[in-house]
Structure 1
Amino acid sequence: MLQQLYIKNFTLIDELDIRLHPGFSVITGETGAGKSIILGAIGLLLGQRADTKSIKQGADRCVIEAHFDLSRYDMKSFFDENDIEYDDKDTIIRRELTATGKSRAFINDTPVALSMLKELGDQLMDIHSQHQNLLLNKQDFQLNVVDILAQDTKEVAAYQKVFAQYQQQKKALETLREEIERNRQNVDFLQFQFDELSESKLTKGEQEELEQQSDTMSHAEEIKTALYETDNALNGDETGVVDMIRKASNALGSISQVLPDSEELVGRLDSCRIELKDIADEVRRMLNHTDFDPEELDVINNRLDRLYELEKKYHVETVEELISLRDQLQQQLNNIENSDEAVAKKEKEVEQLHTICQEHANKVTKLRQTIAKQMKSQMAGRLEALGMPHARFEVSITTTELGRNGQDNVSFLFSANTSTPLQSVAQVASGGEIARVMLSLKAMISGAVKLPTIIFDEIDTGVSGKIAEKMAQIMQEMGQTERQVISITHLPQIAALGSHHYKVSKEETPQGTISQMTELTPDERINEIAQMLSGSNISKAAIDNAKQLLKL
């Protein structure tokens, strides 16, 4: 729960450092004194977006910091998952804003993204402001309340997992149908393209091979001349290198008896001659097989022109891509031919997933229906205690198409008396009735969720007297179950029941208007409640009445 709040240079707050306590506390102060400013600062700690206008005029930065005691709450997993140091006795969250527009957030001195700060903030604190009463008209809020009380998180998550698969396959089915329809409309064109590519008898590597042949044949005369000259140099009758080396070898061989060293040279010359003879034979073979055939070159070039034409037409660069396109066209044609079977198969998959979704949705619906009955009886008791003995409250659950949250439409119905039919709570309840309904719902939710701190911002709007006292008693009870409840109020009946009382006031200084918040002493508290009862001129009767409310 919130132990300490520090605010510096935030709008009208110069510096505020205040300790808070477990149980039920109240905050009072005149309208415009700065209570909303403190809530705004806490909102920034919970991850709300910042505005540089929030920084106190003349300051270059503002700091908002809160210390929480989490020792009674199992929250270590959040810190472990996000690699943040965990101190259950003193968890610190801090937000810093600069006049240049920079915003930084920290959890236990570890810099974090605003989204992470919000994720933790949602587990630390709930602020119920007046505008939240409008949520009673929102179906998603009503459904969320039912799910929290039903504690169906696992069942809803299991449903949503299957529903996501169902949506994915349903979309895939629609895409398949659209593709088949487009292909059917273009079947003649697809068939023409496939026939054209198929009849072209494309083979991998064909283009490279033909380009090489074309290049070779285009230089046939140069090649033949070079080969002829090489053959003549190697095998010429008088000057051929092979014959001349043979003669040199014979000459050295004839003196080997008298010049032993010449025998090694003879061997080396014979090796050279054998290698050159092999080269000469290969050159002659190439010469004999190099014939220039203009008709064959035309055939090759015509084939290349056709390949180039197809590549340009189908916007590709290689024969391999043409082959791939041909195969794709064949697959599309096969799909068209087998489209009914493909659609039927996909429809069966979608139907099976729909059945599984329905089964999961039914489980969630049963849990919601069970808690809806409990809510009806519990709300009747709570509203009776709040001065509405004839009020009726029901949770209407009607079936709709499967959606992300199941198959249920949830609506809160209300009637203040037995003679009026049940209608949507937001349409028929008055401001005071809505405040009592919301407090009752919050009290039920707080029993189902271990939330350390709940702040009520003038939830008492539209009520007074004994009803206000009953509302304070409910908040007091909420603060007794390992929870911290803080109520911002204008009603003395509520202020008197707080275990601790804080006052927000505004003061004019030479530097400008500043807001401050202080914890009241017992005597200061009597005066504050007396002032709330009688106004600025505090009478003895008001003092006595304040003491009576405080049970002094």
Structure 2
Amino acid sequence: MLRRLTISNYLLIDGLDLPLGEGLSIITGETGSGKSILLGALGLATGERAESGIMRDPASRCVIELEVQLDPDRWQGWFQRAELPWESPCILRRQLEPNGRSRAFINDTPVRLEQLRELGAGILHVHSQHHTLLLNDRAFQLGLVDGFCGQHQAVEHYAGTYRQWRSVRERLDALREEEANARQEADYLAFQLNELDAAALQEGEIGILEQDLARAEHAEELLRTLQAVDDGVQGDGGLLAGLSSLEQALAKASRYDQRSASLLERLRSVRIELQDIGHEASGAALEVDLDPAAVDRLNERLDSLNRLLQKHRCEDETALITLREDLRERLARIGGLGRDLGELEGEEERLRTNVSKQADGLSKARSKALAPLA
């Protein structure tokens, strides 16, 4: 229901505050008295295009406000979808600036002109000798019927359920397409994952393998070197044997020479270090593997890892391990698509059934309301 029309600086009107009461309001006047100006102001307030030259004072702002009482059952859902604060009475405001800029407001909230026009189209219908009536428009007819039988709230509820069903249906179609594509990809992903799992990848393994291969390829030379060090340090006539006689001589000299005592301490430290070197060389020599098949095994393992690096375009085994876990996660997601698909299909069926029931209820209510008019 229209409650008030306020006009400022529009055509012949400097300022006007027109209250409108309940029921039928009639504005009369002879030709040229300004009735069409009021209709033009109503049109601007409800989103019609503004023509140039409509300001009484071109240097001032033109403001038109329309206060309306809205039916919450019919309009509250629209305000929620438009993310606008719900208030009734509701004020539609149109501002036209001297620079030609136009602004629209609903309850003091800036809105797009399309939103103002959409709300205006639902609350105001102008029927004149030059306008075709909306009675032949199916949507308008349904709006009249729903208003007559009090079904606006049911229509809003149905529209909300229908939007939910459409949203779920779109998600379902997208998930079905994703699941179909995933099934085609799953076998290849599983093959790649099995290959990487079988490789038993370890961080830093390639570096260790390269060191082991170098030792295996020079095992005999390494063994001879370690044995020579052991013999040269601990064998008869070795370094330790020579140091023993020097140590005895310095021990005697240290009784009367402080510098000799210092040299003796240093010599003893050298002897301890040489003993450690000899023991370690001896132990390392025992660990040298002279197995001729070791080189082949190490080369085979390195070749296998390098083939995987080249195949998957990875820089190192760390990147291969990351790829392996990514493949595992992708396969897990693919495995979960079937479950998600089943849940979404159930939700879509429930909403589709609900939409059908609500549509059937609306149809019966409309038919019942129209029966006396048939």
TM-score normalised per structure 1: 0.42
What are the Cα deviations for residues 211-248 of structure 1, in whole angstroms up to 9, with x where unaligned?
Answer: 44356558879xx9xxx99xx9xxx77999xx9xxx9x
How many residues in Structure 1 have an aligned counterpart in Structure 2? 320
**How far did 1:201 drift?**
4.1
2-side partners of 1:364 and 1:67: how far apart?
32
Query: What displacement does 1:140 show?
Result: 1.6
- The 8 Å contact of residues 159 and 360 in structure 1, kept in 2 or not, is answered as yes
The aligned runs of 1:473-512 (5 Å cut-off) are none
- What letter is aligned with 2:367? Q
The separation in 2 between residues aligned to 1:168 and 1:159, in whole angstroms, is: 14
1:18 maps to 2:16? yes
1:307 maps to 308
Q: Distance in 1 between matches of 2:85 and 2:336?
A: 54
AA aligned to 2:323 is E
Distance, in Å, in 1 between the alignment partners of 2:367 and 2:326 is 57
* 1:296-354 residue CA offsets vs partner (Å, 9 max, x unmatched): 553343233332244249xxx6444345436756886999xxx9x99999777655544
Asked if the contact 2:176–2:341 (Cα under 8 Å) also holds between the matched residues in 1, the reply is yes
Deviation of the 1:74 alpha carbon: 8.5
Change (3 A) 1:320 1:145: farther
Q: CA deviation at 1:195?
A: 6.1
The counterpart of 1:357, out of the listed 328, 349, 355, is 355
Q: Which amino acid aligns with 2:356?
A: Q
2:150 aligned residue: 151
SS in 1 for 2:58: coil
Which of 206, 214, 217 is residue 201 of structure 2 equivalent to?
Answer: 206
Q: CA deviation at 1:17?
A: 1.3
1:371 aligned to 2:369?
A: yes
* Distance of 1:354 and 1:73 partners within structure 2: 28
Name the SS of the counterpart of 1:202 in structure 2. Answer: helix
Aligned partners of 1:39 and 1:69: how far apart in 2? 15
Matched to 1:154, the amino acid is Q
Q: Taking structure 1 as reference, are residues 288 and 321 closer, same or farther at Cα in structure 2, changes over 3 Å only? A: same
SS at match of 1:206: coil
Sequence identity of aligned pairs in percent? 20
Paired with 2:160 and 2:285, the residues of 1 have a C-alpha distance of 72
- Aligned twin of 1:414: none
In structure 2, the partner of 1:44 is 44
Q: Which one has a larger percent strand, Structure 1 or Structure 2?
A: 1
Q: Cα gap change, 1:345/1:373 in structure 2, threshold over 3 Å: closer, same or farther? A: same
Distance 1:205-1:98 versus aligned 2 partners, 3 A rule: farther
User: CA 1:215/1:164 → structure 2, altered by over 3 Å: closer, same or farther?
Assistant: farther
CA contact (8 A) 1:4 1:19 kept: yes
- Post-superposition offset of 1:360: 2.2
CA contact (8 A) 1:52 1:97 kept: no
Report the Cα distance in structure 2 between the residues aligned to 1:333 and 1:87, rounded to whole angstroms: 52
Taking the aligned partners of 2:59 and 2:214, their CA distance within structure 1 comes to 81
- Structure number having the greater helix percentage: 2
Q: Distance in 1 between matches of 2:52 and 2:285?
A: 90
The whole-number CA distance in structure 1 between the counterparts of 2:68 and 2:168 is 47
Spell out, residue by residue over 1:406-460, the C-alpha distance to the aligned partner (whole angstroms, 9 max, x if none): xxxxxxxxxxxxxxxxxxxxxxxxxxxxxxxxxxxxxxxxxxxxxxxxxxxxxxx
Q: TM-score, normalised by structure 2?
A: 0.57
Give distance in 2, aligned partners of 1:352 and 1:172: 15
1:161 shift after superposition:
4.1
Q: Tell whether the 8 Å contact from 1:173 to 1:347 is kept in structure 2 after alignment.
A: yes
Q: Is the 8 A contact 2:213 2:295 kept in 1?
A: no
Find the residue that maps to 1:64 and give its secondary structure: strand
Q: 1:149 to 1:95 in 2, by over 3 A?
A: same
**Aligned partners of 1:39 and 1:49: how far apart in 2?**
11
**Aligned residues: CA RMSD:** 6.0
Shift of 1:167: 3.8
Distance 2:201 2:113 in 1: 58
Give 3-state SS (helix, strand or coil) of 1:154's partner: helix
Q: Distance in 2 between the 1:98 and 1:145 partners?
A: 37
Q: Decide whether the 8 Å contact of 2:149 with 2:365 is kept in 1.
A: yes
Alignment of 1:272-283 (within 5 A): none
Aligned to 1:128: 126
Give SS of 1:7's match. Answer: strand
Corresponding position of 1:196: 191
Unaligned segments of structure 2, at least 5 residues: 220-224, 256-268
Q: Provide the rounded CA distance (Å) in 1 between the counterparts of 2:165 and 2:119.
A: 33
Q: Distance in 2 between matches of 1:177 and 1:55?
A: 56
For each residue in 1:143-202, what CA deviation from the matched residue of structure 2 results, as whole angstroms up to 9, or x when unmatched?
Answer: 122122222233334434443454455556655665676678x5xx864x2563254142
Counterpart residue identity of residue 45, structure 2: L
What is residue 138 of structure 1 aligned with on the other side?
A: 137
Residues 92 and 116, structure 2, Cα contact 8 Å, conserved in 1 = no
**CA displacement at 1:287 relative to structure 2:** 11
- Which residues of 2 match residues 298-337 of structure 1 at below 5 A? 298-312=299-313, 318-325=320-327, 328=330
Q: For residues 368 and 357 of structure 2, what CA distance do their matches in structure 1 show?
A: 17
Aligned amino acid, residue 151 of structure 1: G
Task: State the partner residue of 1:102.
Answer: 101
Give the deviation of 1:132 after TM superposition.
6.2
1:365: how far off?
1.7
Aligned to 2:197, the other structure's residue is in SS state coil
Q: Does the CA contact (< 8 Å) of 1:96 and 1:103 recur in 2?
A: yes
Letter in 2 for 1:19: D
Match of 2:116 among 115, 118, 127: 118
* Structure 2 residue identity aligned to 1:103: S
SS in 1 for 2:62: strand
